[in-house]
């Protein structure tokens, strides 16, 4: 049994070390999984760069999603059988050949489900589903803005919003990505490197025109987003990708700039406009509302099985090329899901 340990913050080439591991017996609510594929998430890049507060002290194994086969289970696990293939959200520990994880983030998949697709369903689709269904309660005909629409969560949000009959505005950072988000269902694609998203939407539809905004960038994006929010609108913030910047070095200056970029808000502003600013953090949902995590995971697997969502796998790496895969995601070259296979 092996795992890639994060041993050093900074450049991906020096960050990971492959080590032997011993897997402990699963606890009462856990299953042990033999991993076929593990997914990368942008939060992993944040953890590698040293920006992720929830990351355990180094050396540690990071990684939020795996697909594989259950080889053992704890006494309380009733609805998952040994030998079943599953998709699983891991609370770190995913960059491994074997991992134990709580049953609340584990859902069986069909024998013919591609393991790489199954990793996309875990963190990115379940986060998007929780945000779209539970936090934002999207309605038919609503105008929705999705930041980083070409990313893993962005791809999932676009498909879920279109499924609800929403009109989708989406941002991405290159013309190739713009083509991708258009094909994925975005009605108004915006290359934010060429056009400020706030100015574009203001010119097209005016301020106070968006019913729902999904923001994973943070700072001034949220401030501008709130100006675009209609009365009755909701803005969900679930990431602050801007903090990663373009460097491998941590920058306090950038962190402060983003923090101040958010601006200041008063509760009366939200009350007065019947608006909501909603935070989404799936680790907290997993810890405090595990039944909701389970529902999100089960629902996205059902939507996949019925063909209502179509995860796109942007790139598959051999696990030995983990450093390269990380760099690819950090440098914003990726579209949708990036996966490593053992
Ligand atoms: N709260 C939660 O529970 C939760 C769960 C999952 C994910 N997340 C967050 O959701 C976001 C998306 O995650 P993901 O794994 O699907 O990653 P992703 O969207 O596939 O990749 C991140 C994308 O963000 C954009 N980006 C990166 N740095 C940026 C910057 N400085 N300014 C503007 N845009 C930037 C890039 O897109 P462009 O090339 O188009 O700029 C990049 O491809 C991340 O912020 C992640 O931390 C949160």
Superfamily for the 2-124+307-341 domain: Medium-chain alcohol dehydrogenases, catalytic domain (3.90.180.10)
Q: Is the CB of 41 under 6 A from ligand 1?
A: yes
What is the pLDDT, as a whole number, of residue 249?
87
CATH 3.40.50.720-classified regions of the chain: 125-282
Q: How many CA atoms lie within 13 A of 337 on its CB side?
A: 26
Superfamily for the 125-282 domain: NAD(P)-binding Rossmann-like Domain (3.40.50.720)
**Predicted confidence band at 247 (pLDDT cuts at 50, 70, 90)?**
confident
Q: What integer is the mean pLDDT of 294-310?
A: 98
Share of the chain above pLDDT 90, in %: 96
What is the pLDDT, as a whole number, of residue 246?
81
- 167-172 sheet: strands from edge to edge: 188-191, 167-172, 143-146, 210-215, 229-237, 276-279
Ligand 1: which residue has its CA nearest to atom 25?
148
Nearest to 45 by CA among 246, 181, 314, 221: 246
CATH 3.90.180.10-classified regions of the chain: 2-124+307-341
**Predicted confidence band at 288 (pLDDT cuts at 50, 70, 90)?**
very high
Residue 148 Cα, ligand 1 centroid: separation in angstroms?
Answer: 6
From 121, 148, 169, the mutation candidate for ligand 1 (largest count of ligand atoms within 8 A of CB) is: 148
Q: How many CA atoms lie within 13 A of 97 on its CB side?
A: 10
Q: Which helix (H) or strand (E) holds 276?
A: strand 276-279
Q: What integer is the mean pLDDT of 97-105?
A: 98
Q: Is the CB of 238 under 6 A from ligand 1?
A: yes
Q: Is the CB of 244 under 6 A from ligand 1?
A: yes
**Predicted confidence band at 334 (pLDDT cuts at 50, 70, 90)?**
very high
DSSP secondary structure of 88-133 = EE-SS--SBSEEEEEGGGEEE--TTS-HHHHHHIIIIIHHHHIIII
Residue spans of beta strands (DSSP E) within 84-239: 85-89, 98-102, 106-108, 143-146, 167-172, 188-191, 210-215, 229-237
User: In this structure, how many other beta carbons lie within 10 angstroms of the beta carbon of residue 208?
Assistant: 16
Residue 242 Cα, ligand 1 centroid: separation in angstroms?
Answer: 8
Residue 219 Cα, ligand 1 centroid: separation in angstroms?
Answer: 13
What is the pLDDT, as a whole number, of residue 177?
98
What is the pLDDT, as a whole number, of residue 245?
83
Are residues 2 and 18 in contact, defined by beta-carbon separation less than 8 angstroms? yes
Q: Is the CB of 155 under 6 A from ligand 1?
A: no
């Amino acid at each position: 049994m092996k795992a890639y340990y994060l041993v050093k913050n900074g450049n991906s080439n020096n960050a990971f070390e492959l080590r032997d591991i011993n897997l402990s017996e699963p606890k009462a609510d856990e299953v042990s999984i033999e991993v076929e594929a593990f997914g990368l998430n942008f939060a992993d890049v944040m953890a590698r760069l040293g920006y992720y507060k929830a990351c355990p002290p180094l050396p540690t194994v990071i990684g939020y999603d795996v697909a594989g086969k259950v080889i053992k289970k704890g006494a309380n696990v009733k609805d998952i059988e040994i030998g079943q293939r599953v998709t699983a959200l891991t609370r770190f520990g995913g960059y491994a050949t074997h991992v134990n994880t709580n049953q609340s983030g584990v859902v069986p998949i069909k024998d013919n489900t591609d393991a790489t697709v199954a990793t996309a369903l875990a963190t990115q689709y379940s986060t998007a589903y929780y945000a779209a269904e539970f936090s934002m309660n999207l309605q038919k005909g609503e105008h929705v803005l999705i930041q980083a629409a070409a990313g893993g969560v962005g791809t999932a949000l676009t498909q879920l919003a279109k499924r609800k009959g929403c009109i989708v505005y989406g941002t991405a950072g290159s013309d190739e990505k713009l083509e991708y988000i258009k094909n994925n269902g975005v009605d108004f694609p915006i290359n934010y490197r060429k056009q400020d998203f706030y100015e574009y939407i203001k010119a097209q539809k005016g301020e106070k025109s968006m019913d729902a905004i999904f923001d994973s960038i943070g700072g001034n994006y949220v401030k501008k987003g709130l100006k675009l929010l209609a009365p009755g609108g909701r803005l969900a913030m679930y990431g602050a990708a801007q903090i990663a910047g373009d460097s491998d070095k941590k920058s306090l200056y950038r962190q402060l700039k983003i923090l101040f970029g958010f601006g200041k808000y008063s509760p009366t502003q939200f009350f007065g406009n019947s608006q909501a600013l909603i935070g989404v953090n799936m680790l907290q949902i997993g810890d405090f509302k595990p039944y909701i995590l389970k529902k999100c995971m089960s629902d996205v697997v059902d939507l996949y099985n019925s063909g209502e969502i179509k995860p796109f796998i942007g790139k598959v790496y051999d696990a030995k090329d983990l450093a390269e895969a990380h760099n690819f995601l950090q440098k914003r070259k990726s579209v949708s899901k990036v996966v490593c296979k053992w």
